[in-house]
Amino acid sequence: MTSDTPAIPDEPGPDPHTRTGTRIDADTGTGTGGGRGISRKTLLRAAVAAGAAVPLLATGSIALARDAARSAAGRPLPPTPSCDDGDDPTPDQMEGPYFRPNSPPRTDLVTPGTAGTRLTVSGYVFGRDCAPLAGVLLDFWQADDAGAYDMAGYTLRGHQFTDATGAFTLRTIVPGLYPGRTRHIHVKAQAPGEPVLTTQLYFPGEPRNSTDALFDPALLMNVRGAGGGREGSFDFVLDVDGDPAPTDPPTGPPNGTWATGRSYAAGDAVTYGGGSYRCLQAHTSMAGWEPPNVPALWRRES
C-alpha cells in the first residue's frame, strides 16, 4: 500500500466542467434540472432496465426497475439521473496519480481480508441516443477503507465489460477519505473503438462534497443502505453514436480467424494479422476489439 497523503492533493484544481443539463443536488442526490418531460429515450432507457414494465413513481418520474422495486416498501426515492434527448454525456474528470494499467478482470473487488462497508454499484452505459452499449470496458480503481491506494498490487482495482443490455455491476467497499478529496471512485469507460472517458463517481450527503473543487454533482451516484452495506447506481452516457448493441450475434465456431460479432470464451484460440491469440475472458467481439488492441481480452501466443 502507498501512503495516500500526496504532497499536492490528488486531482487538484477547479472543476473544469460546465454542465448545462440535469443537475443533481449535492446533498440529496435528487435532480434539480426540472422542466423536462418524459422523453422517448427516457422511456427506452427505463424499458431496457425494466425488461418490460415502465414504473412511474408518484412524482411523475420514471425510475429504473431496481428503484421501483424499492419504492414498493413505501420509501420515497429520488429520481435516477436520466438519459434523454437533452442529456449531456457523462463529464470527464482528471485521472489523478493513482491509476495503474492492466487491472485484473473482475467485478468483485472484495476479498476476505477487505475492510470497509460493502458497496454494490450497478447501472448501465448508454450512447448519446440512449441506446445501451454492450462490451464497454469499465476499469475501476479506488482507495481502501483507510484512504490508501494500492500502488504495488491491484487491491480494489478491476475491469469488466458491460453485458448485452449495457449493464454492469461492481462489488466493492465504500472508499475511505484522504486529504484534499471527498469520497469518490475512479473509473475509465471505453466503448469498443471509441475514446476513453476518465471520470469519478461521488456519494451524496458527503460533507466534503462542498469543499472538494473536483466534485461534480452530475457524477453523484444514487446511494442507499442495503442490509448493513450500501447500494449505489449510476448510468454513464458516453459521447458515442450509440449504435444499438448486437442482440443476436452470429454463431459459429469461435476458433479460426478473429471476426466481429462472435462469442468467444476464455481459452478460445484465434488468429489475427498473422499472430495467434488466446482468449482470456468471455466476450462478444466488436470492431475496435481486435486482439492486438485489447490485451485484457487476448494474449498473443505466437
| x-or-dash string of contact with Fe ion, 148-177, rule CB under 5 A | ------------------------------
Q: What is each CA distance from 105 to 114, 144, 238, in whole angstroms? A: 18, 19, 21
Q: What is each CA distance from 4 to 13, 95, 139, 181, in whole angstroms? A: 18, 15, 20, 11
Cβ 172 to Fe ion, closest distance in Å?
Answer: 14
Q: Which residues of 42-67 are buried (b: 16+ CB within 10 A; e: fewer)?
A: bebbbebbbeeebbeeeeebbbbbbb
Helix, strand, coil fractions of the chain, as percent rounded to 5: 10, 25, 65
Q: Which of 130, 123, 211, 207 is nearest to 160 (CA)?
A: 123
10 binding Fe ion? (CB under 5 A): yes
290 binding Fe ion? (CB under 5 A): no
Q: Which is nearer to Fe ion, 187 or 294 (CB)?
A: 187
Cβ 179 to Fe ion, closest distance in Å?
Answer: 11
Q: Which is nearer to Fe ion, 96 or 123 (CB)?
A: 96
Q: Which is nearer to Fe ion, 10 or 235 (CB)?
A: 10
Q: Which is nearer to Fe ion, 201 or 245 (CB)?
A: 201
Residue 298 and residue 278 in contact, taking contact as beta carbons nearer than 8 Å: yes
Cβ 10 to Fe ion, closest distance in Å?
Answer: 5
Cα-flanking dihedrals φ and ψ of residue 121, to 5°?
-110, 125
Window 69 to 88, contacts with Fe ion (CB under 5 A): none
Cβ 188 to Fe ion, closest distance in Å?
Answer: 13
67 binding Fe ion? (CB under 5 A): no
Q: Which stretch binds Fe ion (CB under 5 A): 6-14, 110-118, 163-171, 216-224?
A: 6-14
Dist CA 266 CA 296 (whole Å): 11
Q: Which stretch binds Fe ion (CB under 5 A): 9-17, 69-77, 126-134, 152-160?
A: 9-17
Q: Which is nearer to Fe ion, 10 or 92 (CB)?
A: 10
- Tell me the H-state helices in the chain: 40-50, 65-71
Give the amino acid at 44: L
Q: Which residues bind Fe ion (CB under 5 A)?
A: 10, 96
